[in-house]
C-alpha cells in the first residue's frame, strides 16, 4: 500500500472540545457501570481452548502401559524445527520400539505435523499449555514423561468439519 | 451613583473565644484527624483509581488482597514499596534528589490545613470551628502553597541528571506557572461575590444566597477545574510524566518509597483540589435545605452530618478526576500552552469584568428595589439576587459553550493554519504520494 | 505567654532568614543558591504574618517563591547552568571592594534605623494596620488604600509592567522575523 497521507479538512466550526469530552465521559461511565467484565481470573478460571489446540506433547500408550510408538522415524523426519530425537530399538520378537524418544519443547513450534504423520497415533500434541520449568533442561521431555502426561490430546483437522465445531 | 454598600466591609462575627487549653487540644485533635483521614484517603485513592480504571476498561481490578474489592491492596503496595531497594543513581545531585520527594509531599498536605470540613460545633468549651487554621487570607494561602508543589517536581527532574527527567521537570514548571494564573483569575468572581477570602465566608455566602456558586459562576468553575487538572498533573495534562515520550518524566530515576512519595503527593493534591471545588462552588459543608447550620454553631450530630456531606462532595470530585483521566487522551504541548494562555486566561479576565459589572448593577438595583438586596428579608423563599445572577450565568454559558467553543478551546494541529497553508500541505502530500511505491506491501 | 512565643518565633525565623541569605550568596551552584533564596523568602513571609500582614506574607510566597523563583529555576535548567561556573557578576578586586563597601553602608543604615523608634503605623498589633485588618479583612486593608489613595501610583506601576511585557514581546517577535 502506498503511503498516502490525507490531510482532512475537519469542520472546525462544528468541533467542540467540551461537548466531545462530555460525550466521551458518558461513554466511559456506561462502561463503568456495565456489569459484564472481560477479565478471566487465570489460575482460578481458565479460558476454554479449542479442541484443536496444539500444546504440550503426549505419547499415548497401549493397554499394557507401553508407548504406542514403533520408532518408524516419520516424526523426526517431518518435524520442521528438528526437535524430536529418536533412537529406534528392537526387542526379541522383532518389534521396534523407541530406545530414546525426546522432544525439546523449547525448539518445538507446535505445528502438529508429528501427530498428523504418526501411523500408530502414538505422539500427540495436547490441549495443554501450562508447562513452565525452572531450567532449560526441564523442557526436554523424555519418553517416560511423555507417556505419563494425562491431559486431553488435540483433535485432527476434519475436512467435514473445518471449524471444529 | 455607586451605592456605598459595594465597598462596605464584610464584618466577621468572631466566634465565642475558646480558652487556650481547649483551643490547643481541639487543634491537635483536628490536626491528627485530618492527617489520618488524608493519609488513609490517599491510600484508598490509589485503590479507587485502579478499580475505576479497571471497571471503565471492562476489567475487574485488584481483588486478591482484602476481599472482592481489594481493600487491603494499598497496604500491600505500601509494604512492597517500603521493602523495595532504594536506588541512588551515580550522577544525581544527592541532597536535592533526596529533598525533592519531600518538597512534593509537604505542600500537598499543608493546603488541607485551611479547608473547612464541617459546621462549627457549639461545644461546652466554646465554639470549635471545623478547620485546622481559620486564616484570614483563606484560599490565597492555598494558592500560595499549591504554587510550591512545582518545586518537588522541578528539582526531582533536575537533580536526577537524566534528560527525560529534566524534560519532565521543565514541562511541569512551565505548565504549572501558566495555569496558576488562570486558576487565580478564575477565583476572583467567587471573591467578588463573597466579598471576602476566607473559605468559611464563601461557604456562608453560598448558604445565604441559597444557590451554589456553580450555578451562578459556572464559567469560573469550568476554568478552575481545568486549571486544577493542570496543577495536579492529571490527564489530560500529565505531560510532565508522559510515558510515551518521557518514560516516566520527572520520577524516572526514583524507586521504592521515594518514588511513591510522588504519587502520594499527586493524590493528596487531587483531594485538596476536590475539597476546594466542593467548598468554593458546591456549598462546602453546608447541609442543603437547612437553615440551622449557617446561623452559627450547631450540635454534634449536625456537625457530623455536615462533615459527611463535605466528604460526599469531595469524593464526587475525586471520582470526576479519575473518570476524566480514563476518558481523555493527553494533550500536545502546544495545545496545552495555547489553551492556558489563549483560551483560559482571556476567558477568565473577560469573566471577571462581566461578573463585576453584573454585581455592581445588581447592588445598584438593590439600592432602588429592596428585593434585589443580598440580605433581602424573604431571600430564603425567593432568592431574587441569586436568581438574577443565575439568569446572567445561563446566558454566558450558552455563549461560551455553544457559540464561542467551536474548535477554539482545543484545536487540531492545523487549527490555526490559514486555508492557504492547508492547501499547500495538501499539495505537498499529493506530490509525496507519487514518489512512494504504488504497489507492494 | 503569647509574647514569649512571638519572641521565640521572631528570632528563630529571623536567624533562619539570615542564615539562608548568607548561604544564598555563598553557594556556587545556581540551583542551590535559588533554593536558599526561596527559604529566605519563606522566612520573610513568616515575619510578615507575625506583623499581622497576612496578605503580604501570602503574596510573598505566591509571587516570589511560587512564580518568580520557579521561572528562575526554569531558566537555570533550560540553559543548563547547573554546574558551578564563572557567571558571577562581580569580578576582580575592585568590584569586590565596591560590593563590600555597599554592603557595609546598607548595614550601617539598618543599624541607624533600628536605633530609632518605629513609625506609629508599623508597630504590630497597635497602629492603623491591626485596626484596618479587623475592620476590612486581611485583603481589604491592603486593597482599600491601594485603590483609593494610591490609585495613580498603582496605575503607573501597571503601565510600567505593561511596557515591559510589550518590550519582551517585541524582542521575541523581532528574532522570529529575522529568522525568517
Q: Tens digit of pLDDT for each residue in A15-67?
A: 677 777 888 889 888 888 888 778 888 888 888 888 888 888 888 888 888 88
| Residue C126 within a domain | no
Do residues C40 and C75 share a domain?
yes
Contact C62 B140 (CB under 8 A): yes
- A3 vs B176: which has the higher pLDDT: B176
Q: By mean pLDDT, which of A29-38, A73-82, B4-13, B312-321 is the weakest?
A: B4-13
Q: Could you tell me if B9 lies within 8 Å of chain C, comparing CB atoms?
A: yes
pLDDT at B375: 59
Closest to C51 (Cα-Cα) out of C150, C156, C121: C121
More confident of the two residues B440 and A124: A124
Residue C24 falls within a domain, yes or no? Answer: yes
Domain match, C76 and C158 both:
no
Residue B428 to residue A31: CA distance in whole angstroms: 42
Confidence (pLDDT) at A4:
66
SS3 A124: strand
Pick from B229, B410, B417, B427 the residue to mutate for testing the A interface (most A CBs within 10 Å): B410
Asked if residue B36 is part of any domain, the answer here is: no
Three cell numbers at B73?
Answer: 491492596
User: Are C71 and C140 found together in one domain?
Assistant: no
Q: Domain for residue B105, yes or no?
A: yes
pLDDT band of residue C160 (cuts 50, 70, 90) is very high
> Residue B68: inside a domain, yes or no?
no
Of A104-108, B44-48, B128-132, the range with the lowest mean pLDDT is: B128-132
pLDDT on residue C162 = 93
Residue B67 inside a domain? The answer is no
Q: Please determine, for residue C163, whether its predicted confidence score (pLDDT) is greater than 90.
A: yes
Segment B33-38 shows an average pLDDT of 88
- Over residues C17-69, the pLDDT tens digits come to 999 998 888 877 788 888 888 889 888 888 888 877 778 888 888 888 888 88
Look at residue B6 in the predicted model and tell me its pLDDT: 34
- What integer pLDDT is reported at residue C156 of this predicted model? 92
Q: Which pLDDT band holds residue A7 (cuts at 50, 70, 90)?
A: low
Nearest CA in chain B to C144: B7
Q: Does C124 lie at the interface with B, CB-CB under 8 angstroms? A: no
Task: Please state, in angstroms and as integers, the Cα–Cα distance from residue A101 to each residue in A6, A68, A137, B73, following that order.
Answer: 59, 12, 15, 48
Q: C3 and C56, same structural domain? A: yes
The answer to whether residues C43 and C66 belong to one domain is yes
As a whole number, mean pLDDT of residues B200-209 equals: 76
- Tens of pLDDT, residue by residue over B320-346, are 999 998 888 888 787 788 888 888 888
Mean pLDDT, to the nearest integer, of A142-162?
A: 82
What's the mean pLDDT when you consider all of chain A? Answer: 83
For the ranges A128-137, B127-136, C109-118, the lowest mean pLDDT is seen at C109-118
pLDDT of residue C166: 92
Helix H, strand E, coil C: the string for chain B is: CCCHHHCCCCCCCCCCCCCHHHHHHHHHHHHHHHHHHHHHHHHHHHHHHHHHHHHHCCCCCCCCCCCCCCCCHHHHHHHHHHHCCCCCCCCCCHHHHHHHHHHHHHHHHHHHHHCCCEEEEEECCEEEEECCCCCCCHHHHHHHHHCCHHHHHHHHHHHCCCHHHHHHHHHHHHHHHHHHHHHHHHHHHHHHHHCCCCHHHHHHHHHHHCCCHHHHCHHHHHHHHHHHHHHCCCCCCCHHHCHHHHCCHHHCCCCHHHHHHHHHHHHHHHHHHHHHHHHHHCCCCCCCCCCHHHCCCECHHHHHHHHHHHHHHHHHHHHHHHHHHCCCCCCCHHHHHHHHHHHHHHHHHHHHHHHHHHHHHHHHHHHHCHHHCCCCCCCCCCCHHHHHHHHHHHHHHHHHHHHHCCCCCCCCCCCCCCHHHHHHHHHHHHHHHHHCCCCCC
Report the DSSP pairing between strands B126-130 and A96-104. unpaired
Taking a C-beta distance cutoff of 8 angstroms, is the pair B212, B222 a contact?
no
Residue A165: its pLDDT value, please?
A: 63
Q: How far apart are CA B175 and CA B333, in angstroms?
A: 9
What is the pLDDT, as a whole number, of residue B9?
38
**CA–CA min distance B140, chain C (Å):** 7
- Map A32-61 to HEC letters: HHCCCCCCCCCCCCCCCCCCCCCEEEEECE
Owning domain of residue C139: 132-180
Determine, yes or no, domain membership for B330: yes
- Quickly state the pLDDT bin for B13 (edges 50, 70, 90): very low
Helix, strand, or coil (residue C22): helix
For residue C128, whether the previous peptide bond is cis, meaning omega lies within 30 degrees of 0, is no
Give residue B4's pLDDT. Answer: 35
pLDDT, residue A80, reads 92
Percent of chain A surpassing pLDDT 70? 89
What was the pLDDT predicted at C89? 60
Helices B73-83 and B20-56 cross at an angle (nearest 10°) of: 100
B245: cell is 515520550
- Residue C12 sits in a domain whose CATH number is 1.20.120.1200
CB-based contact C77 B140, cutoff 8 Å: no
Provide the pLDDT for residue B304: 83
- Which of the 8 DSSP states describes residue A139? G
Q: 3-state DSSP call for residue A99? A: strand
State which of C77, C96, C120 marks the end of a domain.
Answer: C120
**Does residue B180 contact residue B143 with C-beta atoms inside 8 Å?**
yes
pLDDT of B247 reads 80
Q: Is the pLDDT of residue C90 over 80?
A: no
Could you tell me the pLDDT band of residue B11, with boundaries at 50, 70 and 90? very low
Q: In B137-162, which positions are buried (b, 16+ CB within 10 angstroms) versus exposed (e)? A: bbbbbbbbbbbbbbbbbbbbbbbbbb
Domain membership flag for residue C114: yes
Percent of chain B with pLDDT over 70: 83
| pLDDT at residue B12 tops 80 | no
d(CA B56, CA B348): 33
Same domain, C85 and C153: no
- pLDDT for the residue C132: 62
Which pLDDT band holds residue B3 (cuts at 50, 70, 90)? very low
Residue C127 lies in a domain: no
Q: pLDDT value at position B285?
A: 79
Nearest residue in C to B143, CA atom:
C62
* Among B55, B323, B406, beta carbon nearest to A25: B323
Chain B environment of C65 (Cβ under 8 Å): 144, 147-148
- Tell me if C139 and B158 make a contact (CB, 8 A cut-off): no
The answer as to whether C125 is a domain residue is no
Task: State yes or no: pLDDT of B250 exceeds 90.
Answer: no
Looking at A15-19, B297-301, B405-409, C97-101, which range is the least confident one? B405-409
Whether residue C154 is found in the same domain as residue C82? no
In a domain, B327, yes or no: yes
User: Is B302 within the bounds of a domain?
Assistant: yes
> Taking the alpha carbons of C136, C142, C143, C147 in that order, is the dihedral positive or negative?
positive
Q: Which of C85, C120, C155 is the last residue of a domain?
A: C120
Does residue C174 belong to any structural domain of this protein?
yes
Task: Tell me the percentage of chain B whose pLDDT exceeds 90.
Answer: 1
- The candidate with the shortest Cα–Cα distance to A98, out of A54, A146, A63, is A146
Same domain, C93 and C10: yes
Chains A and C touch (3+ CB pairs under 8 A): no
Answer whether residue A103 shows pLDDT above 50: yes
Contact A89, A97 (CB under 8 A): yes
Say yes or no to pLDDT of B10 above 70: no
In this structure, what is the dihedral angle of CA atoms B425, B426, B428, B433, given to the nearest 10 degrees?
A: 140
- Kindly list the residues from chain B whose CB atom is less than 8 angstroms away from the CB atom of residue C1: 20
- Cα separation, B355 vs B221, whole angstroms: 13
B224's CB contacts (< 8 A; 6+ apart) are: B183, B186, B187, B277, B280, B281
- Domain of B121, in residue numbers: 4-23+87-434
Q: How far apart are CA B98 and CA B155, in angstroms?
A: 10
Whether residues C4 and C89 fall in one domain: yes
Domain count, chain B: 1
Please state the pTM of the whole predicted model: 0.79
Given pLDDT bands bounded at 50, 70 and 90, which one contains residue B440? very low
The answer on C180 and C93 residing in a single domain is: no
In chain C, how many domains are there?
2
Compute the mean pLDDT over every residue in chain B, rounded to the nearest whole number. Answer: 78
User: Which stretch of DSSP H or E encloses residue A136?
Assistant: none
**Residue B79 within a domain:** no
Mean pLDDT of B207-230: 83
Q: Are C152 and C63 within one domain?
A: no
Lowest mean pLDDT among A2-16, B37-51, B79-93: A2-16
Could you say which of C67, C78, C135 has the minimum Cβ distance to residue B147? Answer: C67
pLDDT at residue B203, as a whole number: 80
Interface residue of B9, B162, B167, B182 to substitute, partner C, most C CBs within 10 Å:
B9
Amino acid at each position: 500500500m502506498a503511503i498516502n497521507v490525507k490531510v482532512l479538512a475537519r469542520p472546525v466550526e462544528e468541533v467542540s472540545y467540551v461537548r466531545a469530552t462530555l460525550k466521551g465521559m458518558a461513554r466511559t461511565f456506561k462502561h463503568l457501570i456495565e456489569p459484564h467484565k472481560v477479565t478471566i481470573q487465570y489460575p482460578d478460571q481458565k479460558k476454554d481452548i479449542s479442541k484443536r489446540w496444539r500444546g504440550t506433547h503426549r505419547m499415548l500408550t497401549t493397554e499394557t502401559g507401553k508407548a504406542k510408538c514403533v520408532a518408524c522415524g516419520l516424526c523426526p523426519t517431518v518435524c520442521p524445527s528438528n526437535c524430536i530425537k529418536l533412537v529406534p530399538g528392537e526387542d526379541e520378537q522383532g518389534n521396534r520400539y523407541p530406545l530414546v524418544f525426546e522432544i525439546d519443547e523449547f525448539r518445538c513450534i507446535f505445528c502438529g505435523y508429528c501427530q498428523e504423520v504418526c501411523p500408530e497415533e502414538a505422539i500427540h500434541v495436547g490441549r495443554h499449555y501450562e508447562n513452565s520449568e525452572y531450567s532449560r533442561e526441564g523442557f526436554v521431555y523424555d519418553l517416560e514423561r511423555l507417556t505419563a502426561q494425562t491431559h486431553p490430546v488435540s483433535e485432527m483437522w476434519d475436512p467435514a468439519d473445518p471449524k471444529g465445531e | 451613583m455607586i451605592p456605598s454598600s459595594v465597598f462596605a466591609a464584610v464584618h466577621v462575627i468572631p466566634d465565642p473565644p475558646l480558652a487556650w487549653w481547649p483551643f490547643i487540644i481541639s487543634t491537635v485533635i483536628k490536626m491528627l484527624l485530618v492527617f489520618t483521614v488524608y493519609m488513609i484517603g490517599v491510600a484508598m485513592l490509589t485503590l479507587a483509581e485502579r478499580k475505576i480504571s479497571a471497571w471503565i476498561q471492562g476489567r475487574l481490578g485488584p481483588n486478591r488482597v482484602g476481599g472482592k474489592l481489594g481493600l487491603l491492596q494499598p497496604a500491600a503496595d505500601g509494604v512492597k514499596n517500603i521493602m523495595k531497594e532504594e536506588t541512588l543513581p551515580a550522577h544525581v545531585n544527592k541532597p536535592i534528589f533526596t529533598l525533592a520527594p519531600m518538597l512534593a509531599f509537604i505542600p500537598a498536605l499543608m493546603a488541607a490545613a485551611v479547608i473547612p470540613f464541617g459546621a462549627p460545633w457549639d461545644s461546652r468549651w466554646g465554639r470549635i470551628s471545623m478547620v485546622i487554621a481559620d486564616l484570614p487570607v483563606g484560599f490565597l494561602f492555598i494558592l500560595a502553597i499549591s504554587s510550591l508543589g512545582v518545586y518537588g517536581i522541578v528539582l526531582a527532574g533536575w537533580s536526577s541528571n537524566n534528560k527525560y527527567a529534566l524534560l519532565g521537570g521543565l514541562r511541569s514548571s512551565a505548565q504549572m506557572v501558566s495555569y496558576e494564573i488562570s486558576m487565580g483569575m478564575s477565583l476572583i468572581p467567587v471573591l467578588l461575590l463573597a466579598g471576602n477570602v476566607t473559605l468559611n465566608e464563601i461557604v456562608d455566602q453560598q448558604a445565604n444566597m441559597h444557590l451554589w456558586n456553580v450555578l451562578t459562576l459556572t464559567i469560573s468553575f469550568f476554568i478552575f477545574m481545568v486549571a486544577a487538572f493542570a496543577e495536579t498533573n492529571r490527564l489530560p495534562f500529565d505531560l510532565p510524566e508522559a510515558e510515551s515520550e518521557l518514560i516516566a518524566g520527572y520520577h524516572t530515576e526514583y524507586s521504592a518509597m521515594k518514588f511513591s512519595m510522588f504519587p502520594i503527593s499527586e493524590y493528596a493534591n487531587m483531594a485538596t483540589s476536590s475539597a476546594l471545588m466542593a467548598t468554593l462552588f458546591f456549598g462546602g459543608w453546608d447541609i442543603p435545605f437547612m437553615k440551622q447550620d449557617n446561623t452559627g454553631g450547631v450540635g454534634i450530630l449536625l456537625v457530623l452530618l455536615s462533615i459527611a456531606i463535605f466528604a460526599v462532595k469531595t469524593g464526587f470530585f475525586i471520582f470526576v478526576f479519575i473518570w476524566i483521566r480514563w476518558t481523555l487522551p493527553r494533550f500536545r504541548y502546544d495545545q496545552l500552552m495555547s489553551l492556558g494562555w489563549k483560551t483560559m486566561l482571556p476567558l477568565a479576565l473577560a469573566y471577571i469584568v462581566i461578573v463585576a459589572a453584573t454585581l455592581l448593577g445588581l447592588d445598584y438595583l438593590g439600592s432602588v428595589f429592596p428585593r434585589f438586596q443580598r440580605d433581602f428579608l424573604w431571600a430564603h423563599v425567593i432568592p431574587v439576587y441569586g436568581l438574577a445572577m443565575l439568569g446572567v450565568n445561563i446566558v454566558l454559558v450558552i455563549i461560551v459553550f455553544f457559540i464561542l467553543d467551536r474548535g477554539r478551546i482545543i484545536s487540531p494541529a492545523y487549527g490555526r493554519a490559514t486555508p492557504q497553508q492547508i492547501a499547500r500541505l495538501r499539495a505537498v502530500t499529493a506530490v509525496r504520494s507519487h514518489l512512494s511505491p504504488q504497489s507492494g506491501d | 505567654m503569647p509574647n514569649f512565643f512571638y519572641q521565640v518565633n521572631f528570632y528563630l525565623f529571623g536567624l533562619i532568614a539570615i542564615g539562608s541569605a548568607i548561604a544564598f550568596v555563598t553557594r556556587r551552584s545556581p540551583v542551590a543558591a535559588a533554593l536558599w533564596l526561596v527559604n529566605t523568602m519563606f522566612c520573610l513571609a513568616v515575619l510578615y504574618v507575625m506583623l499581622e500582614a497576612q496578605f503580604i506574607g501570602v503574596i510573598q510566597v505566591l509571587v516570589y517563591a511560587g512564580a518568580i523563583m520557579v521561572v528562575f529555576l526554569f531558566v537555570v535548567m533550560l540553559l543548563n547552568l547547573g554546574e558551578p561556573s564563572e557567571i558571577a557578576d562581580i569580578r576582580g578586586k575592585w568590584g569586590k571592594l565596591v560590593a563590600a563597601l555597599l554592603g557595609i553602608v546598607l548595614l550601617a543604615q539598618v543599624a541607624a534605623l533600628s536605633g530609632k523608634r518605629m513609625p506609629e503605623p508599623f508597630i504590630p498589633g497597635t497602629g492603623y494596620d491591626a485596626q484596618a485588618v479587623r475592620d476590612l479583612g486581611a485583603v481589604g486593608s491592603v486593597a482599600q488604600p491601594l485603590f483609593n489613595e494610591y490609585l495613580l501610583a498603582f496605575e503607573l506601576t501597571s503601565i510600567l509592567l505593561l511596557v515591559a511585557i510589550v518590550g519582551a514581546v517585541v524582542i521575541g517577535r523581532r528574532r522570529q522575523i529575522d529568522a525568517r
